[in-house]
Amino acid sequence: MSLAAIAAAASAKDIALNTPNTTLLLQAEPGARVYVRYYGSRLDDMSQVRNANIRGEEAYPCFGYGSGFISSMALGVTHSDGDLGTDLRYVSDSCTGFEGGTDYVVTTRDTKHNFEVDLCYRTYGNCDVIEMWTVIRNGEKKPVVLEKYASAALPFRKGDVWVSHEHGTWASEAWLTEEPLNAGRLEIADLSGTRNAMLNRPNIMLSLDGKPRENAGRTVGAVLCWSGNYRMTIDTDSGRYHHLVCGINETGSRYTLGRNECFTTPALAVVYSDEGKGGVSRNYHRWARLNGKIHNGQALRKTLLNSWEGVYLNVSQGAMEKMMDGVQALGAELFVMDDGWFGGKYKRSIDNCALGDWVTDTDKLPDGVPALEKAAAARGLKWGIWIEPEMTNTLSELYEKHPDWVICNPGREPVCGRGGTQLVLDMSNPAVQDYVFSIVDNIMKETPGTYYIKWDCNMDINSVGSSYLTSDRQSHLYVDYHLGLVRTLERIRANYPDLVIQDCASGGGRVNYGLMPYFDEFWTSDNTDAEQRLFIQWGTSMFFPPCAMAQHVSASPNHQTGRVLPLKFRFDVAMTGRLGMEMKPSDLSPEEFEFARNAFATYKEIRPVVQQGDLYRILSPYDSHGLASEIFVTEDKSEAVFFAYKFRQYANSPAWPCFRFDGLDPDAQYVLTELNRTSGPEPWEGKTFSGRFLMDTGIELSLGGVYSSCIIRCSSCR
Ligand code: DGJ
């Protein structure tokens, strides 16, 4: 170290951001750049980092002036005089406590322009999540253009570092991919405009100790809380660190800031855990449930039946009431009428019309929606309804009246989606925001007993242009769409805090923490095939809590894959999230009906453990020879529910394990009871085992043929 560097280090200030088990250490000094020196398990003596000569990297590297990381910029600005360089130096910092955590702000200023960036951090006392974002302020005399405006940058020391991320498509979301970080750039990004979780999702984990493991190894998670286009890059050059930069995708989104305007970037929520991917997941789950990152996260979610796969668009008063009879007899709690119920001039009997015309189709429902809500209430059921508020069709009265409300590249034909006619409404336009609010507001006024709304979104933005935005701000559309959407959702929540709203986007296309603060749950996938759901749910649970994952039992053969599966397997897979059904109950045989009725009753008993407990994934379907297992454990470890599945058949399987549990109290005694049992008791039924034995040794499961499964309740008898 040079003398100048030693002198600088001596005057440098440590800013330690602590969570219960982790520390993110920033270092700042007046007139110098801010550095991330350390991120890992909790440190109480920060001088160790300096004494160990750990330098770290810049907390928010900028383009154009003297930064070492040309490839991994967090901020790029064209200043008001055309200057491309930015050089942010520390000015001050502050911290403010709030109930449950602490907010830190580190203010930096450019050395040449009147241009400031606050580096903002939020820590929580009930989980090891740190949120990081920036507030960018233009104090220059004229507008500046943000060319790149990431939320945060974070360095990771090289080693055997692996990255886990999710990719997919419609009916096949959240496939987990794991790969070592090699030289070059790994980029995970989205440009769909509306559904940023359908293909690649804005969530990654970095395993710092080699190949990712479920419940061991130093692991970092990074999740961007944004529902629009995003970009997460990891650059690996010849330096000592991998450079992670995450934020809004700047492609097509240069953002102009007028004089004295500021822009707040979405939060990047990071977690460090030395308990592997599982430790990171459990932290995200707690963060989401306990800190409002999913709406009403601590409430128990009700069981339901959704009409889509039962009747598709063939909604009618009789069909709905018949399904309600089934729901009531099964003991589920809520009935949801899906697509197909609306339309005046254009009727929603095919999927190419009527979005935007949210009036009841009285040919199908002569007594209107309020009559159905009453019919549900008469059966002791809650009532829910489907809408797709951000969309319209060229065949709709809305489009005839407001053609300027749709997103469309000016002077060109609209590019339509579903049915050859679907179009996206321009949520950057306040008049459209008011209209979208009014859709929910009208439903709640006309049918005040509505308990649940399924909010769908079935189209991307594939023709960019806004009639509302001025020509110099067209590139704001992708961002302002989501700011407008969030503004509308905030208004809905201010008026209807108790309404349960499902986030659906052709399935899991919008499973992101930009939107989940306003939604109670999401439709995990349009694919309800229980075998593929094992994978989809496994991947989704990496970052999202089971209480938010809508998991429905559907018909066999399955409508998406044609696979024939036993009803028990279908229930056992669906019971690891928010249980529901997606079929006509009248299609069940009497024996199946009886099984389903009992399964709903059983689910209600274990629901607090599944929906609010800690999830330990154990045998991964990705690498366990056609087996999978996981366990949910209450915080006090007095109750647990274990799930195991067999979805491949091998003669004399070469890798048949003793099924081990996880997350239990090693010193507690647990009695085991099998749930949803369809065959004679296993030898361990009703017996008592120590938590240590169950975790170290485990039990033998018969799991006879393919598609057999087992649910075991563990009740502590300390
Ligand atoms: C897509 C959703 O994912 C389905 O569940 C269903 O609601 C359809 N849209 C209705 O059009």
Q: pLDDT digit string (tens) for 32-77?
A: 999 999 999 999 999 999 999 998 999 999 999 987 666 789 999 9
Instruction: Examine the pLDDT at 10 and tell me if it is beyond 60.
Output: no
Active site residue 456: yes
- List pLDDT tens digits, range 81-125: 999 999 999 999 999 999 999 999 999 999 999 999 999 999 999
Residue 472 annotated as catalytic: no
At 368, the amino acid letter reads G
pLDDT at 680: 86
The DSSP annotation for 196-223 comes to TTSSEEEEEEEETTSS--SS-B-EEEEE
Rg of the chain's alpha carbons, rounded to an integer?
Answer: 26
Gap between the Cα atoms of 229 and 512, Å rounded:
11
Q: What is the pLDDT at residue 73?
A: 94
Reading the block at residue 160, the tokens are 């055997």
CA-closest residue to ligand 1 atom 1: 506
The per-residue pLDDT for 530 is 98
Question: pLDDT for 236-245, tens place per residue?
Answer: 998 899 999 9
618 CA to centre of own chain: 21
Residues with CB under 6 A from ligand 1: 308, 338-339, 386, 456, 458, 504, 506-507, 523, 526
pLDDT at 620: 97
* Tens of pLDDT, residues 401-417: 999 999 999 999 999 99
pLDDT at 5: 45
- pTM summary value: 0.97
Region 375-384: mean pLDDT is 98
Q: How many angstroms is it from 333 CA to the middle of ligand 1?
A: 21
Does pLDDT of 431 surpass 60? Answer: yes
Which one from 93, 118, 235, 526 is the annotated catalytic residue? 526
Which atom in ligand 1 lies closest to the alpha carbon of residue 454? 7
Per-residue pLDDT, averaged over 416-445, amounts to: 98
Query: Taking Cα atoms as reference points, which of 542, 535, 513 lies closest to residue 645?
Result: 535
For residue 374, pLDDT over 90 is answered with: yes
User: How many percent of the chain have pLDDT more than 70?
Assistant: 98
Best residue among 304, 336, 452, 458 to mutate for probing ligand 1's pocket (most ligand atoms within 8 Å of CB) is 458
705 against 189, higher pLDDT: 189
Q: Using alpha carbons, select from 49, 50, 67 the residue that is nearest to residue 59.
A: 67
Ligand 1 pocket, mutate which of 338, 393, 521 (most atoms under 8 A from CB)? 338
Q: Which two tokens stand for residue 571?
A: 């229930």
Å from CA of 456 to ligand 1 middle: 7
Q: At what angle do helices 590-612 and 567-574 cross, to 10 degrees?
A: 20
| CA atoms of 191 and 174, how far apart (whole Å) | 17
Helix (H, G, I), strand (E, B) or coil at 364: coil
What spacing in Å lies between the alpha carbon of 491 and ligand 1's midpoint?
25
Confidence of residue 625 (pLDDT cuts 50, 70, 90): confident
Q: Who contacts 208 (Cβ-Cβ below 8 Å, separation ≥6)?
A: 156, 157, 159, 161, 217, 218, 219, 220
- The closest-lying atom of ligand 1 relative to the alpha carbon of residue 526 is 3
User: If you take atom 9 of ligand 1, which residue's CA is the nearest one?
Assistant: 506
Mean pLDDT estimate for the chain: 96
To which residue do tokens 């749950």 refer? Answer: 521
Q: Which atom of ligand 1 is nearest to the CA of 351?
A: 11
- Which residues, other chains included, contact 714 with Cβ-Cβ below 8 Å and sequence gap of 6+? 631, 639, 640, 641, 642, 661, 664, 670, 671, 672, 694
Between the CA of 482 and the centroid of ligand 1 the distance, in Å, is: 21
pLDDT digits (tens, 9 = 90+) for 274-303: 999 999 999 999 999 999 999 999 999 999
Distance 308 CA to ligand 1 centre (A): 7
Helix, strand, coil abundance in the chain, percent, nearest 5? 25, 35, 45
Residue 593, C-beta contacts closer than 8 angstroms, at least 6 positions apart: 329, 330, 585
Q: Is there a cis peptide before residue 410, judged by omega within 30 degrees of 0?
A: no
The answer to whether the beta carbons of residues 468 and 201 sit under 8 Å apart is no
| Per-residue pLDDT tens over the stretch 481-512 | 999 999 999 999 999 999 999 999 999 999 99
Whether 166 has a pLDDT exceeding 80, the answer reads: yes
* Confidence tier at 624 by pLDDT (50, 70, 90): confident
pLDDT surpasses 80 at 3:
no
| Average pLDDT estimate for 2-24 | 75
pLDDT value at residue 718:
66
pLDDT at site 1: 41
CA angle 581, 419, 526 (to 5 degrees): 25
Establish how many alpha carbons lie within 13 A of residue 389's alpha carbon, considering only the half-sphere containing its beta carbon.
Answer: 24
CB distance 527 to 172 below 8 Å = yes
Nearest CA to ligand 1 atom 6: 308
What is the token pair recorded at 686? 């009703």
| Cα(430)–Cα(423) distance, integer angstroms | 18
- For residue 454, report the distance from its CA to the centre of ligand 1, in Å: 9
Q: Whose CA is nearest to atom 11 of ligand 1?
A: 339
Separation of alpha carbons 568 and 497, rounded Å: 36
Instruction: Work out which ligand 1 atom sits closest to the CA atom of 306.
Output: 5
